[in-house]
Amino acid sequence: MKISTMLDHIDSGHIALPEFQRGYVWNRDQVRSFFDSLYKRHPVGSLLVWVTESQNAEYRGKGSLAQGVVKLLLDGQQRITSLYGVVRGEKPKFFEGNEKALFGLRFHLEKEEFAFYSPIKMDEDPLWIDITALLKEGHSALGKFLESLGSNPKYTANVGKYAGRLSNIIGITDIDLYVEEVTGKDKSIEIVVDIFNRVNSGGTKLSQGDLALAKICAEWPDAREKMKTALQTWIDDGYQFDLDWLLRNVNTILTGEAKFLYLHNVEKEKVVTGLDKAIKAINYMLNLISGRLGLDHDRVFFGRYALPVMVHYYDKKGGILDEIEQDKLIFWYVQAAMWGRFSGSTESFIDKDLNVIEDKNGALDRLIEQLRLWHGGLNAEAGHFEGWSMGARFYPVLYMLTRVGEAKDWGTGLPLKQGLLGKKNKLEVHHIFPKAVLYQHDYSKSQVNAIANFCFQTGHTNLKIGKREPREYFVEIESKHPGALASQWIPMDENLWQIANYLDFLEERKRILAKSTNNFMTNLLHSDLSALGMAPVFEMQESAEVEQVSDVVGSIDSEEEEQELLQLNEWIQDQGLPAGNISHELSDPEKGYPIAVFDVAWPNGLQKGLSQPVAVLLNEGPAVYACANRLGFKYFTEVDAFKDYVLTEILAVAD
């Protein structure tokens, strides 16, 4: 089928996108490469469509289908969407994604290369041709371009060559793409999804959640939009969730199960009600966790798959929880998060916990007991704070203790609880012993960035302390704000404030942090420790052996490198784009331990809808680059190269 015919069929509703398909995820690099292949007449693959009756078709978008038989794209969405956007100069009806990847494609007649519009680079060079304008107007545009070039003596000799190249571009819409069809009345959506997954075996397969959502949207077309509205609300509040996670919460309310297959046959009316209940319950839990634990943004919000269990319990209780129930529930949440309850077989553990709370009477005690029996104990010990960097599992615990206790800012002496106002009052990580000083004394990267060397301060205080050693600035703090050091779990033995005794300082602070954690957790149970098999007071024991991963690759190696990254973040924000995550840590999906640290990263891309995560990796080695490749990151090893990418590919302007 010719490309031009396919695009016409999209306009007429004879070709559409099945509901279970994900949105458009190609970026400009992929679009440019695709059109380069078309121009050179290289093979670009065949298409796979599902031929079905329009009246039964479950399709994406708000456009209408043609009467009779229609074709739903199973394989080829990215290619056809790119063609439609570039050729038509607008989005197809089913479009959902980053539209900047579709518009502004240009072609250089002499160099025979494709690039996206850059005014300073292209405006003064008539050899850069607007592909969309050329393809929309066809041969009439060809005459205009050639006439314009022919009037310039500089290009007269090459007009014939340029005419051939322009004709070659216009001929793209006449290219025939082979279309393979899946037909037959026996082809249910389950069978078609299985076919889709087999065809896309090299990519991301559709999950049971995708299939369930497709069936829901077939009955209730506005479902996806309502879910996205809820997700955006949480994003605005600092929490990053996805459709699959939200649907999991809906599922536990409607079916009492974790597996999506139980959701497939739920009636539309129940799904509408279930989604409303889930959103209400999630909001309640986020407020509870934020207000009671201080975990108020995504960076410290761990254990997110505990929420479907909590949401189910909340719904069974009719949305009414007394103070003791609230505290027991968040006790269970913190413990489940600390020990990685859902980091492995998520569905299996959610189902086990849902089964425990089917009988709501005494359910929380049984939940806690099951967690204790699974983990073998719920005592935090000094060894659990052995981790290093902001990706370690107990990093959120430190943040939580700072928010819920009487931890005080060392510059003002005020408690670091929620509600602080002012640009410089956002909490920042502070290295108690400065990194530069520790590196000068040959301490290792993991020792320098140990959790026990972290505390949280306001930005103003962080700047004020600077690179001074504790033996100097601790005395000043204690004089101005007595008790402020102890409120941040600082050992008060002044010998431990010396750089030579840094490792002893870490050990003592880990012990204090573990004790503080246990005391807080005990208070959440309101002295009811029957489910724990514990004494009323947690007694500190010798630190247990805690599994650690030593082969974490990547790090920021110097103050100069860190300053360069901070300046890069300032520059990126000046461009109207979000700052990257400095020292972005990636964890093992099963165990939750860190495997790599990227200097600065945008795990969701630089703009909403861009498919590829991006990182800047300075002075790293092959192991870090290999990790970035494996995890799908586009990475840059020089700041200038990254800036050029932002300007030319993301913002489409020249530096």
Rounded average pLDDT per 10-residue block, the chain, 655 residues: 93 85 79 94 89 77 82 87 94 83 92 90 89 87 81 85 92 92 70 65 57 76 87 88 89 91 84 96 96 86 92 94 94 92 81 86 88 88 76 83 90 77 60 93 87 90 90 95 96 96 96 94 80 44 40 62 85 81 63 67 69 83 83 88 85 47
Bridge partner residues of 16 (DSSP) = 72
pLDDT for the residue 239: 87
SS3 615: strand
CA 516 to CA 137: how far, in whole Å? Answer: 72
Question: Could you tell me if 474 and 491 are in contact, meaning their C-beta atoms sit under 8 angstroms apart?
Answer: no
- Rg for the chain (alpha carbons), in Å? 29
| 623-635 CB burial, b ≥16 within 10 A, e <16 | ebbebbeebebbb
pLDDT for the residue 544: 39
SS3 437: helix
**Residue 132 structure tokens:** 């969309």
Other beta carbons less than 10 A from residue 56's beta carbon: 10
SS3 108: strand
pLDDT for the residue 170: 93
pLDDT for the residue 186: 62
Residue 120 has, within 13 A of its CA and on its CB side, a CA count of 7
Our CA angle for 276, 280, 285, nearest 5°, is 145
**Strand boundaries in 200-242, DSSP class E:** none
CA 331 to CA 214: how far, in whole Å? Answer: 36
Task: Single out the residue of 528, 207, 217, 543 nearest to residue 394, CA to CA.
Answer: 543
* Predicted model pTM: 0.68
Residue 344 has, within 13 A of its CA and on its CB side, a CA count of 7
CA 446 to CA 444: how far, in whole Å? Answer: 6
CA 172 to CA 105: how far, in whole Å? Answer: 14
pLDDT for the residue 517: 94
Strand 128-130 relative to strand 105-108: parallel, antiparallel, unpaired?
antiparallel
Torsion of CA 611, 232, 209, 195, to 10 degrees: -30
Residues 6+ apart with CB under 8 A from 47: 73, 75, 76, 79, 80, 177, 178, 179, 180
53's enclosing H/E stretch is strand 47-53
CA 336 to CA 375: how far, in whole Å? Answer: 9
pLDDT for the residue 422: 38
pLDDT one-digit tens code per residue, 32-55: 999 999 999 999 988 888 888 887
pLDDT one-digit tens code per residue, 544-582: 343 443 455 666 656 577 788 889 988 988 777 888 877
Our CA angle for 226, 228, 229, nearest 5°, is 65
Other beta carbons less than 10 A from residue 343's beta carbon: 20
Phi and psi angles of residue 260, each rounded to the nearest 5 degrees, phi first: -70, -20
CA 486 to CA 468: how far, in whole Å? Answer: 19
Question: Could you tell me if 264 and 215 are in contact, meaning their C-beta atoms sit under 8 angstroms apart?
Answer: yes
**Residue 10 structure tokens:** 């999209």
Question: Could you tell me if 607 and 586 are in contact, meaning their C-beta atoms sit under 8 angstroms apart?
Answer: no
pLDDT for the residue 535: 41
pLDDT for the residue 6: 94
As to burial, measured by CB atoms within 10 angstroms (0-12 exposed, 13-18 middle, 19+ buried), residue 334 is: buried
pLDDT for the residue 280: 97
SS3 450: strand
- Where do the H-state alpha helices sit in 526-603? 559-574
